Structure 1
Amino acid sequence: MSISLRRVVPFSLALLCTGVFAEPQSLTVISFGGATKQAQDKAYFQPFNQSGAGRIVAGEYNGELSKIKAMVDVGHTSWDVVEVESPELLRGCDAGLFERLDTTSFGDHAQFVPGTLTECGVATYVWSMVMAFDQDKLAKAPTSWADFWNIADFPGKRGLRKGAKYTLEIALLADGVERDQLYKVLATPQGVTRAFAKLDQIKPNIQWWEAGAQPAQWLIAGDVVMTAAYNGRIASAQKEGMNLSIVWPQSLYDPEYWAVVKGTPNKALAERFIAFASQPQTQKVFSENIPYGPVHRQALALLPEQVQQQLPTAEANLAQAQAVDAEFWVDHGEELEERFNAWAAR
């Protein structure tokens, strides 16, 4: 059963009518800053303030759990809601750094992208690692990671993120591993060896990037003919008039989550904020301001077709994508990153 607007819209109106929040309670929300925070301010923070439900005090950090752990350990939490990446959500949940949430209070699970409602976090948006290329510099368009490996038909340098995560998945996809078997294969010694052997094939043609802005810059400059990239960075370049294209099939998508810091005295208000930010109408505004995918399925229908096509959670894009397995990287990330660094240095 879908969430009706009747259930969602009166939320802020009811708060205004009760008078309970005549002097709005403060809620400290910490996110990653930059363009994402600007979009969050327009979509979530300002409208929440205007609803009378509370007053958002927005801050930013680099995603490190150490600050949150220090607060929880001393029993003094100055942060209420934090944006966290999926591996940190799992680690923090296991370590008791985040409050357990009643996900039924955020709406019908069927209306959310799978994996975006969890016991310790509710996803706020989805981003993707995609293949991108400059239409002006290629005679024909690549359509898969197998084409990324095809030096004969697509000569030139390729850009890949300098790290095991995403790079090993991409190598196995290029080698013919089916999306739904990806982490099953990568969890075996033979699968890891296979991924590195595949990378060996194009190692001299790889240009490694470490900052999210580099792929688009390198494409525009002609330093690489195609590259793995964060979808939002490519969409931003497109908005600036660059003739870059995204290959959505075999993309890797990952949610970012809202989590509530353990021990906050403002848990109830924190959950109200997350519920507010999980509505189709507010998520629509967020995706209008930055090309990351809304997690509520009804939000897509509120967006223009041209905007939908740029989003990881658009039906056509999501259908051919693979979710990044955060649990796999929590369990195996350290050893695989060490092996990758040793391989890259050779």
Structure 2
Amino acid sequence: MIVSNISRLLASLITTITCFVLTSTVAVAVEESITVASWGGAYEKVSKEAYFDSFEEATGIKVNIAAFNGGLAQIRVQVDSGHVRWDVIDIESQDGIIGCDEGLLELLDGIELPDGPDGSSAEEDFLKGAITDCTVSHITWSTVIAFNTESFKSNPPNSTKDFFDLEKYPGKRGIRRTPEVNLEIALMADNVPIEDIYDTLSTDEGIERAFAKLDSVKDSLIIWETGAHPPQLLADEEVVMTTVFNGRVFDAQILENQPFEIIWDGQVRDFSRWAIVANTPNLENAMKFVQHTALSSSQAAFANRMSYGPARRSAWSLVQDHIPTGIDMRPHMPTHPNNSKNVLISDAEWWADHKDELTERFSTWLSN
């Protein structure tokens, strides 16, 4: 009887220890992975090569990738439900401000960002506006207009105005399903100076003016949502011109030999930013990821694969040749002097204040 009781006690103890070990192992496995929401396609591939793989190698923390097309809807559902599945998101500037104000994103005021290779502090080295309460930028990018050269073999378009000139340049146009950029380029094409765009949009008359200009091409529009879609529209000759993220055009030109050209006139420049979803159970590892991508070497690794510029100055000297093909990357950057003669810097604060009302107005306009 005594032996039997001891056996049962030992068996119970072994079971308890086994369960503890298994539970601990599962906990460690969860802690040693993060989920990063990215934009898919070529952009996601480059992000993996420049950021995710090197982070895994440096830390041993696995990066799982989730598909993301922007906005805050999916993040809001996760935070409000208490079931946060994403840890880090690659977010647009105005959404970073709105998400921070709504408590959907973690405050990053305590994060220690790495110094530049020259010893400069992150605060000195990052471009103006690149760091906010809840975000840290990793690239600069632009929405540009691109066209298929097969559609215009002589006298090709070269300005924002040409995008709206259906008589001179007939054919379908592509625009993104958001009011951002579309309202700005409409006013540019309607002769509003770059420096007056947001002051004009701050008036009822300015909003009406922008939508009136969009009305002039409405029947010729095809709407896109994902970054990979505009180059495909051009390649399939569904459109002759489209707004598009500049890096997507570069990839199509260089890697796929597509006959596309960029119109740099009127480019709308912005940052892509890392933000951490509020209440993530993996906050410490998410912070480590943001710190890793803030390294000048990490940002240059991205810029040497896709034509988006680094968000910190010290990384620029590290931007040289395209890793897959060896061509010089610098002339293809939106920040290169030759491409920066008529640039609008997107006003994220303005859009954070006006996004909801103008998104509703834009959606109604599209559906009518």
Report if TM-score (shorter chain) is over 0.5.
Answer: yes
User: 2:113–2:294: 8 Å Cα contact kept in structure 1?
Assistant: no
Is the aligned partner of 1:251 residue 2:267? Answer: yes
One-letter amino acid matched to 1:117: I
What does residue 90 of structure 1 align with? Answer: 97
Q: Over the residues paired in the alignment, what is the CA RMSD in angstroms?
A: 3.0
Displacement of 1:296 in angstroms is 2.0
Is the aligned partner of 1:184 residue 2:199? Answer: yes
Q: 2:289 aligns with which of 273, 279, 294?
A: 273
What does residue 120 of structure 1 align with? Answer: 134
Displacement of 1:265 in angstroms is 6.2
Of the structure 1 ranges 253-262 and 64-73, higher mean CA displacement relative to structure 2 is found in 64-73
Of the structure 1 ranges 85-94 and 203-212, higher mean CA displacement relative to structure 2 is found in 203-212
Whichever of the two has the greater Rg, that structure is 2
Q: Which consecutive residues of structure 2, in runs of 5 or more, have no partner in the other structure?
A: 1-28, 115-120, 322-326
Supply the distance in 1 between the matched residues of 2:83 and 2:239 (Cα, whole angstroms). 49
Supply the distance in 2 between the matched residues of 1:343 and 1:148 (Cα, whole angstroms). 19
Supply the distance in 2 between the matched residues of 1:83 and 1:131 (Cα, whole angstroms). 23
Is the aligned partner of 1:59 residue 2:65? Answer: yes
Displacement of 1:121 in angstroms is 0.7
2:150 partner SS = helix
Supply the distance in 2 between the matched residues of 1:223 and 1:41 (Cα, whole angstroms). 30
Supply the distance in 2 between the matched residues of 1:166 and 1:254 (Cα, whole angstroms). 11
Q: Which aligned pairs between 1:152-171 and structure 2 lie closer than 5 A?
A: 152-171=167-186
User: 1:144–1:249: 8 Å Cα contact kept in structure 2?
Assistant: yes
What does residue 133 of structure 1 align with? Answer: 147
Identical counterparts, % of pairs: 37
Displacement of 1:220 in angstroms is 3.3
Of the structure 1 ranges 254-263 and 67-76, higher mean CA displacement relative to structure 2 is found in 67-76
Supply the distance in 2 between the matched residues of 1:209 and 1:40 (Cα, whole angstroms). 22
Q: For residues 16-48 of structure 1, what are the alpha-carbon distances to aligned partners after superposition, in whole Å with 9 as ceiling and x for unaligned? A: xxxxxxx99625141224433332222122222
Displacement of 1:160 in angstroms is 2.5
Q: For residues 187-243 of structure 1, what are the alpha-carbon distances to aligned partners after superposition, in whole Å with 9 as ceiling and x for unaligned? A: 210101111222233334434444444433333344433222222322222121112
Supply the distance in 1 between the matched residues of 2:293 and 2:220 (Cα, whole angstroms). 43
Q: 1:90 to 1:213 in 2, by over 3 A?
A: same
Q: 2:221 aligns with which of 191, 202, 206?
A: 206
Q: For residues 279-324 of structure 1, what are the alpha-carbon distances to aligned partners after superposition, in whole Å with 9 as ceiling and x for unaligned? A: 2211122223333332123333322373222233445435632232
Q: Which consecutive residues of structure 1, in runs of 5 or more, have no partner in the other structure?
A: 1-22
User: 2:176–2:224: 8 Å Cα contact kept in structure 1?
Assistant: yes
Q: 1:211 to 1:278 in 2, by over 3 A?
A: closer
User: 1:27–1:80: 8 Å Cα contact kept in structure 2?
Assistant: no
One-letter amino acid matched to 1:118: T
What does residue 218 of structure 1 align with? Answer: 233
1:306 partner SS = coil
Q: For residues 112-143 of structure 1, what are the alpha-carbon distances to aligned partners after superposition, in whole Å with 9 as ceiling and x for unaligned? A: 23321111110122332111112233212322
Aligned length: 323
Runs of 4+ in 1 over 6 A off after TM superposition: none
What does residue 335 of structure 1 align with? Answer: 357
Q: 1:111 to 1:141 in 2, by over 3 A?
A: farther
**What TM-score do you get using the length of structure 2 for normalisation?**
0.76
Q: 1:77 to 1:168 in 2, by over 3 A?
A: closer
1:46 partner SS = helix
Supply the distance in 2 between the matched residues of 1:289 and 1:278 (Cα, whole angstroms). 17
Supply the distance in 2 between the matched residues of 1:322 and 1:337 (Cα, whole angstroms). 20
1:289 partner SS = coil
User: 2:112–2:291: 8 Å Cα contact kept in structure 1?
Assistant: no
Displacement of 1:249 in angstroms is 2.2
User: 1:161–1:210: 8 Å Cα contact kept in structure 2?
Assistant: yes
User: 2:268–2:344: 8 Å Cα contact kept in structure 1?
Assistant: yes
One-letter amino acid matched to 1:132: A
Is the aligned partner of 1:321 residue 2:329? Answer: no
User: 1:54–1:269: 8 Å Cα contact kept in structure 2?
Assistant: no
Supply the distance in 2 between the matched residues of 1:68 and 1:195 (Cα, whole angstroms). 30
User: 1:77–1:264: 8 Å Cα contact kept in structure 2?
Assistant: yes
What does residue 312 of structure 1 align with? Answer: 334
Q: 1:269 to 1:166 in 2, by over 3 A?
A: same
**What TM-score do you get using the length of structure 1 for normalisation?**
0.80
Q: 1:116 to 1:237 in 2, by over 3 A?
A: same
What does residue 142 of structure 1 align with? Answer: 157
What does residue 261 of structure 1 align with? Answer: 277
Of the structure 1 ranges 259-268 and 66-75, higher mean CA displacement relative to structure 2 is found in 66-75
One-letter amino acid matched to 1:50: E
Q: 1:66 to 1:202 in 2, by over 3 A?
A: closer
Q: For residues 167-204 of structure 1, what are the alpha-carbon distances to aligned partners after superposition, in whole Å with 9 as ceiling and x for unaligned? A: 11110011111222211211210101111222233334
Displacement of 1:326 in angstroms is 2.8
Of the structure 1 ranges 62-71 and 143-152, higher mean CA displacement relative to structure 2 is found in 62-71
